[in-house]
């Protein structure tokens, strides 16, 4: 087996897919199946250890790329990285004070409702949070669509960063709440 | 790009379902997978090993029969111990008839036989060896030719349990070409006759473990979307529900604590298992326990409704796990096209009904729940051996993998349900000035705090150049192979110091131990072989002696006196040898040879009588 073309970690390139936010689920699944049939180590049962190892690494890369692109936030990150404007790591703070405030309010509301044992109130607040999360994803999709139509200019990514930070923050908040609810 | 040509390998790769209560071995013949029966014709080999105080270990049905006679030396359900410590076993310990203790130097449950301890790995190795022996006999091949196997494990087995299963295979002299998850194997067998794309949930409730896997089947690719389970939930627990109640009632009414006595525990367990099976077919069963020595006779009718009440909480636990797997797959119940039932415990009507009610559709129960996993393993063996084309399994890891952080939390590197093989890396640093070594603890599980998860092992990266706290950049890399087994390495980037690290097994065996056990197993193998030859010789001797006895009467007068004396002497020697147990191979062989030799004149006389009879028009049967 000759060395696989290095894709430099860009999940779109690893899966041979066009770099767009509006990636169809069917296209992503088809790409995963195609690459898996090419690279899964089980396709090389009689190859020597080194070749199987290479296949295994490449397959791990395919799996990573698929997991990234299956998630809208992962797609957003990958597109920004391609454009040369990656999200700085560990900076998921939200710059929009309005969102931050309404989230803090929502968290307090949920904590209070839980303390009061009011399941109805907890559920209402959780629904609001889920609604916010959905809204942030719609906004993110719209922002990317506009940006891609404009030719994906590398110097016009400020809004994308802000939208992605917001969506990431909302997801984390809702994950945290689910976890504390379970615990 | 060049792809190596897929070829065929000569000797078949075995597909082995190493189960908690039963094990099976299957092969793919190029057209279909098939399960290979044992000498008794039964494809199910009880996963039981009995260790008589003197003599070689006994495996399978014979070991199962020894359980009530020799409860403390008869090991069943070793799969529930493998890769675990006694602290992990909880309620299991109370009803096991044999004694389980941790190895002195590590958190590894072993069976205490008194004079020595055996690890669950060794027990499973003996079961695997018997599978291999069975296959060799059924295929008329040399055992040496069958050195490779696909072995199934519960999807929810963690890394320690997988490593330990691998060790068992190594002890059995088998190379594990792939370990696959049981529900995935079942899906492979299920999908054999289907070409339409569909989403399937495999509900696998076996003797000791429960798994639920959700798969997408498309063009020969079997992709697992999510899996969830409990490695300590199965039919054994149904049995235990009966045992615990019966023991409590017997304590209250007869004033005897049955659970205090290993023999009684083993007997109760077997009766409970029988009662459970009866309740799958009828509405009431009798739980009968007799101990003539103690003057105890216990009869108790158990109604199916009562039994269902006892096991309902266990069944509910499986349904809660189904909900979690669905959520992880991002699906709703309606998105599924079929629910496939696998594992012997799905024969329990309550299980079938509860699963049907929960998913809102009648489950697919037309597969043989005992055989389907082994058949799937054989399909995968066929894929890896080159006999099966166009089938590919894409599986996931059941549990998240991470590193314990300085604060006792978990830095998660690979999330649960990530597709395997997988690689991930994460940066770490020092927390003290001038620190030259960093200790890492690898954990597996979903809990927030490291201590609540399973500690797989730890390693220390040494030789860091002294630097202020927070400056060194250590990259820890996890690589999860297609068997779901983890390799870890760590590297300090700034100083370029690199260290390969092996995680010290917390629950497994070291290489040296495996080597030692392999040597011992070899010695045992010779003993086993001798025992087998003795049994064969005794059987043959008995056949010849019986034939001589039967025919001597009619032919006695026709025999020459010297020949008659020799034959009677040889027959007496044979009877004497058969009257006492065992015997040396050489001596038995000698007696058999002499008896065969001495019976030649008898055979000639008989032949003549047959010939005369034929002339006189009598049938041969009338003469012999």
User: Considering B122, B159, B167, B204, which one is annotated as catalytic?
Assistant: B204
Q: Coil, helix or strand for B289?
A: strand
Residue B314 pLDDT? 94
CA distance A57 to chain B (A): 8
Instruction: Tell me which residue of B423, B555, B524, B521 sits closest to B476, measured CA to CA.
Output: B423
User: How is the beta sheet containing B454-461 ordered, strand by strand?
Assistant: B410-414, B401-404, B438-444, B454-461
In A121-137, which positions are buried (b, 16+ CB within 10 angstroms) versus exposed (e)? ebeebbeebeebbeebb
The predicted model gives B316-326 an average pLDDT of: 94
Judgement on whether residues A116 and A169 belong to the same structural domain of the protein: yes
Task: Choose, out of A39, A63, A66, A183, the residue to mutate when testing the contact with B (most B CBs < 10 Å).
Answer: A63
Residues of chain B contacting residue A56, judged by C-beta atoms under 8 Å apart: 421, 481-482
Q: Give the Cα separation of B274 and B74 in Å (integer).
A: 19
Regarding predicted confidence, which is higher, B224 or B434?
B224
3 state DSSP class of B181 = strand
Residue B493 pLDDT > 80: no
Report the share of chain B in percent with pLDDT over 70: 89
Q: How many domains does chain A have?
A: 2
Count CB neighbours of B69 within 10 A.
12
pLDDT in tens, B34-90: 999 998 899 999 999 999 988 889 999 999 988 888 889 999 999 999 998 888 887
Report the pLDDT averaged over residues B426-441.
Answer: 87
Sort out which chain B residues have CB atoms less than 8 A from A179's CB and list them.
Answer: 448
Question: What is the CATH classification number for the domain harbouring A35?
Answer: 1.10.287.110
The CA distance from B328 to the nearest CA of chain A, in Å, is 13
- DSSP secondary structure string, B466-510? P--TT---EEEEEEE-TTS-EEEEEEESSS--EE---PPPSSS--
pLDDT at B403 over 50: yes
Instruction: Note the ipTM here.
Output: 0.86
pLDDT tens per residue across span B202-217: 999 988 889 999 999 9
What pLDDT does A142 receive? 94
Structural domain includes residue A30: yes
Is the confidence at residue A94, as pLDDT, over 70?
A: no
Partner-chain residue, chosen from A33, A43, A63, that has the shortest CB–CB distance to B421: A63
- The domain boundary residue, chosen from A70, A85, A107: A70
Measured between alpha carbons, how far is B334 from B167 in angstroms, rounded to an integer? 41
Residues 6+ apart with CB under 8 A from A77: A68, A86, A87, A164
What single string gives the DSSP state of each residue in B11-74? Answer: SPPEEEEE-SSEEEEEEE-SS-EEEPP-TTS-S-EE--EE--SSS--EETHHHHHHTTTSGGGE
- Residue A181 distance to chain B (closest CA, Å): 13
Q: Give tens-digit pLDDT for B225-268.
A: 999 988 889 999 999 999 999 999 988 887 888 888 888 888 88
**Same domain, residue pair A108 and A172:** yes
Task: Give yes or no: B17 in active site.
Answer: yes
Neighbours of B408 (CB within 10 A): 12
The partner residues of B210 in beta bridges, in order of sequence, read: B205, B230
Euclidean distance between CA atoms B111 and A51, whole angstroms: 41
Peptide bond into B421 cis (omega under 30): yes
- Cα B429 to Cα A11, B176, B434, B464, B491, distances in angstroms: 28, 37, 12, 11, 11
Identify any residues that bridge with B403 across adjacent strands, giving them in sequence order.
B411, B442
Instruction: Give A5's pLDDT tier (boundaries 50, 70, 90).
Output: very low
In order of B9, B15, B237, B407, B525, the CA distances from B213 in angstroms are 31, 20, 21, 34, 38
A70 touches chain B (CB under 8 A): no
A110 part of a folded domain: yes
Asked if residue A164 is part of any domain, the answer here is yes
Rounded (10°) CA dihedral A28, A31, A36, A39: -130
- What values do phi and psi take at A160, rounded to 5? -60, -45
Cβ contacts of B3 on chain A, cutoff 8 Å: 1, 38, 43-44
Segment B282-305, tens digit of pLDDT: 999 999 888 777 777 888 999 999
Residues of B in contact with A66 (CB under 8 A): 419
Residues A105 and A178 in one domain: yes
Minimal Cα–Cα distance from B8 to chain A, Å?
Answer: 8
Tens digit of pLDDT for each residue in A36-86? 999 998 888 777 778 888 889 999 999 999 999 999 999 999 999 998 888
Q: How close, in Å, is residue A175 to chain B by CA atoms? A: 13
Residue A81 lies in a domain: no
Q: How confident is the model at residue B188 (pLDDT cuts 50, 70, 90)?
A: very high
CA gap B326, A57 in Å, rounded: 29
Is pLDDT larger for residue B358 or for residue A46? B358
pLDDT at B5 over 80: no
The answer for residues whose C-beta is within 8 angstroms of residue B196's C-beta and 6 or more apart is: none
Pairing of strands B198-205, B338-342: parallel
Residue of A nearest to B222 (CA): A33
Q: Which two tokens stand for residue B387?
A: 């006999």
State which residue of chain A sits closest to B3, comparing Cα positions: A1
| Mean pLDDT, range B495-524, rounded to an integer | 62
Q: Which residue has the higher pLDDT, B583 or B316?
A: B316
CA dist A119 → A133, B288, B336 (Å): 21, 49, 30
Name the 3-class secondary structure at B410.
strand
B383·A47 Cβ contact <8 A:
no
Spatial separation of the C-alpha atoms in residues B405 and B427, rounded to whole Å: 11
CB B427 within 8 A of CB B410: no
What pLDDT sits at residue B456? 84
Mutate to test the interface with A, among B418, B419, B453, B489 (most CBs of A within 10 A): B419
- Chain B residue numbers touching A40 (CB-CB < 8 A): 392, 394, 482
pLDDT band at B489 (very low <50, low <70, confident <90, very high): confident
**Mean of the per-residue pLDDT values for chain B?**
85
Tokens standing for residue B546: 């019986």
Distance CA B205, CA B154 (A): 10
pLDDT in the model for residue B265 = 85
In this predicted structure, the answer to whether residue A89 has a pLDDT above a threshold of 90 is no
Would you say residue A91 lies in a domain?
Answer: no
Residue A75 lies in a domain: no
Q: How far apart are CA A146 and CA B287, in angstroms?
A: 73
One domain, residues A48 and A106? no
Q: Is the Cβ–Cβ distance between A147 and A153 less than 8 Å? A: yes
Answer yes or no: do B482 and A61 touch at CB < 8 A: no
B159-171 and B120-139 helices, crossing angle to 10°: 50
Asked if B221 lies within 8 A of A66 by C-beta distance, the reply is no
Taking CA–CA distances from A56, the nearest residue in chain B reads B421
| Band of residue B506 on the pLDDT scale cut at 50, 70, 90 | low
Are the C-beta atoms of B202 and B213 separated by less than 8 Å? yes
Cβ-defined contact of B423 to A36 (cutoff 8 Å) = no
Q: Measure CB to CB from residue A67 to each of B178, B223, B418 and give the nearest one.
A: B418
Q: Which helix (H) or strand (E) holds B356?
A: helix B349-359
Determine the average pLDDT of the residues in B217-221. 88
Report the greatest alpha carbon distance in chain A: 64
Does residue A154 belong to the interface with chain B, where contact is any CB pair within 8 Å?
no
| Position A98 pLDDT exceeds 60 | yes
- CB-based contact B588:B541 (threshold 8 Å): yes
Token pair listed for A99: 């969102």
Mean pLDDT of B476-490: 86
**Which pLDDT tens digit goes with each residue over B158-179?**
888 999 999 999 999 999 999 9
Lowest mean pLDDT among A6-10, A134-138, A161-165, B361-365: A6-10
How many beta carbons lie within 10 A of that of residue B126, not counting itself?
29
Length of chain B: 624
Domain that holds residue A158: 97-182
Please report the sign of the dihedral spanned by the C-alpha atoms of residue A101, residue A103, residue A109, residue A115: negative
pLDDT at A1: 34
Which region among A96-105, B218-227, B281-290, B560-569 has the lowest average model confidence (pLDDT)? A96-105
Q: Say if residue A66 is in the same domain as residue A119.
A: no
Tell me whether A43 touches chain B (CB under 8 Å): yes
Question: Which tokens hold the place of B127?
Answer: 């079961």
Q: Could you tell me if A170 and A136 are in contact, meaning their C-beta atoms sit under 8 angstroms apart?
A: yes
One domain, residues A145 and A101:
yes
Give the minimum alpha-carbon distance from A47 to chain B in angstroms, rounded to a whole number: 7
CB spacing of A46 vs B423 below 8 angstroms: no
Shared domain for A66 and A111, answered yes or no, is no
Query: What is the C-alpha separation between B594 and B69, in angstroms, rounded?
Result: 37
Asked if A35 has any chain B CB less than 8 Å from its own CB, the reply is: no
Report how far residue B86's alpha carbon sits from residue B110's, in angstroms, rounded to the nearest whole number.
8
Give CA–CA dist A109/B127, Å, rounded: 58
Q: Considering the domain boundaries, does residue A51 fall inside one?
A: yes
Model confidence at B439: pLDDT above 60: yes
| Minimal Cβ distance to B221: which of A2, A36, A60 | A36
Percent pLDDT > 90 in chain B is: 43
Of B182, B395, B404, B492, the active-site residue reads: B182
Mean pLDDT, residues B12-23: 95
* CB distance B176 to B149 below 8 Å: yes
Indicate whether B510 pLDDT > 70.
Answer: no
Residue among A2, A51, A59 minimizing CB distance to B1: A2
Residues of chain B in contact with residue A63, where contact means CB-CB under 8 angstroms, are 418-422
d(CA B207, CA B203): 13
Greater pLDDT, B292 or B16: B16
On whether both A178 and A101 belong to a single domain, the answer is yes
Give pLDDT, residue B528. Answer: 62
Q: Which pLDDT does position B67 carry in this prediction?
A: 85
Residue A1 lies in a domain: no
Comparing CB atoms, the residue among B3, B394, B421 nearest residue A56 is B421
Residue A23: band (very low, low, confident or very high) from pLDDT cuts 50, 70, 90: very high
Among A33, A56, A66, the residue with its CB nearest the CB of B419 is A66
Q: Check residue B582 and report its DSSP letter.
A: -
Burial of B469-492, coded b for 16+ CB within 10 Å and e otherwise, reads: eeebebebebbbbbbbbbebbbbb
pLDDT greater than 70 at residue A90: no
Q: Which of A53, A70, A87 marks a domain boundary?
A: A70
Q: Which of B79, B158, B230, B528 is catalytic?
A: B79
- β-strand partners of B339: B201
pLDDT digits (tens, 9 = 90+) for B543-563: 788 878 878 877 788 888 888
Q: Closest Cα to residue B277, out of B319, B249, B307, B250?
A: B307
Residue of B12, B198, B421 to mutate when probing chain A, most A C-beta within 10 A? B421
Q: What is the pLDDT of residues B128-151, one digit of tens each?
A: 999 999 999 999 888 888 999 999
Same domain, A175 and A102: yes
Domain boundary among A52, A70, A88: A70
Q: Is the minimum CB–CB distance between A47 and chain B shorter than 8 Å?
A: yes
* Interchain contact A45–B (C-beta under 8 A): yes
Q: Is A58 on the interface with B (CB under 8 A)?
A: no
- Which residues does chain A have within 8 Å of residue B383's beta carbon, measured at their own beta carbons? 42, 45
Task: Measure CA B463 to chain center.
Answer: 43
Position with higher pLDDT, B313 vs B445: B313
| Per-residue pLDDT, B35 | 96
Whether A177 and A105 map to the same domain: the answer is yes
Polymer length of chain A: 183
Q: Which of B17, B92, B159, B236 is catalytic?
A: B17
Supply the pTM of this predicted model: 0.79
Q: For chain B, say whether A26 makes contact (Cβ under 8 Å).
A: no
Using the Cβ of A52 and the Cβ atoms of chain B, whether some distance falls under 8 Å is answered with no
Q: Please tell me whether residues A102 and A152 are part of one structural domain.
A: yes
Query: Is pLDDT at B281 greater than 70 in this prediction?
Result: yes
- Name beta bridge partners: B40: none
Name all contacts of B555-560 with Cβ < 8 Å and 24+ positions apart: B555/B602, B555/B605, B555/B606, B555/B609, B558/B605, B558/B608, B558/B609, B559/B601, B559/B602, B559/B605, B560/B601
Q: Are residues A114 and A174 in the same domain?
A: yes
Question: Active-site residue B79, yes or no?
Answer: yes
């Amino acid at each position: 087996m000759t060395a696989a073309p290095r894709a430099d970690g860009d999940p779109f390139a690893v899966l041979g897919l066009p770099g767009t936010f509006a990636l169809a689920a069917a296209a992503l699944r088809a790409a995963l199946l195609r690459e898996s049939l090419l690279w899964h180590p089980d396709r090389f049962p009689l190859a020597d250890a080194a070749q199987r190892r290479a296949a295994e690494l490449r397959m791990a890369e395919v799996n990573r790329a698929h997991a990234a692109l299956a998630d809208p936030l992962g797609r957003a990150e990958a597109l920004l990285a391609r454009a040369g404007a990656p999200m700085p790591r560990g900076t998921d703070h939200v710059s929009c004070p309005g969102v931050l405030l309404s989230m803090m309010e929502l968290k307090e509301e949920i904590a209070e409702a839980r303390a009061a044992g009011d399941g109805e109130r907890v559920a209402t607040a959780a629904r609001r949070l889920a609604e916010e999360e959905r809204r942030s994803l719609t906004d993110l999709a719209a922002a990317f669509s506009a940006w891609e139509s404009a030719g994906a200019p590398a110097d016009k990514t400020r809004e994308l960063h802000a939208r992605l930070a917001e969506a990431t923050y909302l997801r984390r908040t809702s994950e945290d709440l689910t976890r504390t609810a379970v615990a | 790009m060049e792809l190596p040509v897929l070829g065929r390998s000569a000797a078949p790769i075995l597909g082995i379902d190493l189960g908690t209560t039963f094990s099976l071995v299957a092969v793919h013949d190029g057209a279909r997978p098939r399960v290979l029966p044992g000498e008794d014709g039964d494809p199910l080999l009880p996963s039981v090993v009995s260790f008589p105080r003197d003599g070689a270990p006994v495996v399978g049905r014979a070991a199962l029969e020894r359980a009530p006679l020799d409860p403390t030396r008869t090991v069943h359900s070793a799969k529930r111990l493998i890769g675990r410590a006694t602290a992990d076993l909880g309620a299991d310990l109370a009803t096991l008839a044999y004694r389980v203790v941790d190895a002195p130097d590590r958190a590894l449950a072993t069976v205490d036989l008194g004079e020595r301890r055996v690890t669950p790995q060794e027990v499973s190795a003996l079961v695997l060896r018997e599978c291999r022996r069975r296959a060799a006999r059924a295929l008329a091949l040399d055992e040496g030719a069958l050195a490779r196997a696909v072995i199934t494990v519960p999807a929810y087995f963690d890394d320690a349990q997988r490593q330990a299963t691998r060790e068992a295979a190594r002890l059995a002299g088998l190379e594990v070409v792939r370990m696959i998850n049981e529900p995935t194997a079942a899906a492979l067998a299920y999908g054999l006759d289907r070409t339409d794309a569909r989403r399937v949930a495999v509900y696998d409730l076996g003797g000791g473990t429960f798994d639920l896997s959700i798969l997408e089947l498309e063009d020969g690719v079997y992709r697992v979307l999510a899996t969830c389970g409990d490695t300590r939930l199965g039919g054994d627990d149904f049995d235990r529900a009966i045992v615990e109640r019966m023991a409590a009632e017997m304590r209250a009414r007869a004033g005897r604590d049955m659970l205090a006595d290993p023999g009684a525990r083993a007997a109760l367990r077997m009766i409970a298992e029988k009662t459970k099976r009866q309740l799958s077919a009828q509405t009431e069963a009798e739980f009968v326990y007799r101990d003539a020595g103690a003057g105890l006779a216990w009869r108790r009718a158990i109604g199916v409704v009562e039994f269902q009440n006892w096991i309902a909480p266990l069944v509910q636990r499986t349904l809660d796990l189904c909900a979690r797997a669905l959520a992880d797959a991002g699906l709703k119940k309606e998105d599924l096209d079929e629910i496939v039932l696998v594992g012997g415990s799905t024969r329990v009507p309550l299980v079938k009904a509860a699963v049907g009610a929960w998913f809102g559709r009648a489950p697919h129960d037309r597969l043989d729940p005992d055989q389907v996993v082994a058949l799937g393993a054989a399909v995968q063996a066929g894929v890896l051996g080159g006999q099966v084309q166009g089938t590919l399994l894409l599986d996931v890891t059941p549990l998240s993998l991470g590193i314990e952080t300085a604060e006792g939390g978990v830095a998660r590197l690979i999330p649960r349900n990530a597709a395997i093989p997988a690689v991930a890396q994460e940066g770490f640093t020092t927390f003290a000035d001038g620190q030259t070594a960093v200790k890492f603890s690898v954990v597996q599980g979903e809990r927030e705090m490291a201590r609540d998860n399973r500690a797989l092992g730890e390693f220390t990266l040494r030789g860091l150049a002294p630097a202020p706290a927070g400056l060194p950049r250590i990259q820890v890399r996890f690589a999860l192979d297609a068997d779901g087994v983890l390799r870890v390495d760590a590297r300090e980037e700034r100083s370029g110091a690199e260290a390969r690290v092996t995680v010290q097994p917390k629950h497994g065996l070291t290489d040296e131990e495996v080597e030692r056990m392999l040597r011992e197993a070899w010695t045992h193998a010779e003993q086993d072989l001798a025992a087998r030859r003795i049994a064969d010789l005794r059987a043959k001797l008995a056949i010849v002696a019986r034939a001589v006895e039967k025919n001597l009467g009619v032919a006695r007068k026709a025999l020459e006196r010297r020949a008659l004396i020799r034959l009677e002497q040889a027959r007496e020697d044979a009877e004497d040898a058969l009257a006492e147990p065992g015997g040396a191979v050489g001596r038995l062989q000698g007696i058999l040879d002499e008896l065969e030799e001495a019976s030649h004149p008898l055979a000639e006389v008989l032949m003549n009588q047959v010939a005369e009879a034929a002339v006189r028009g009598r049938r041969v049967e009338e003469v012999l």
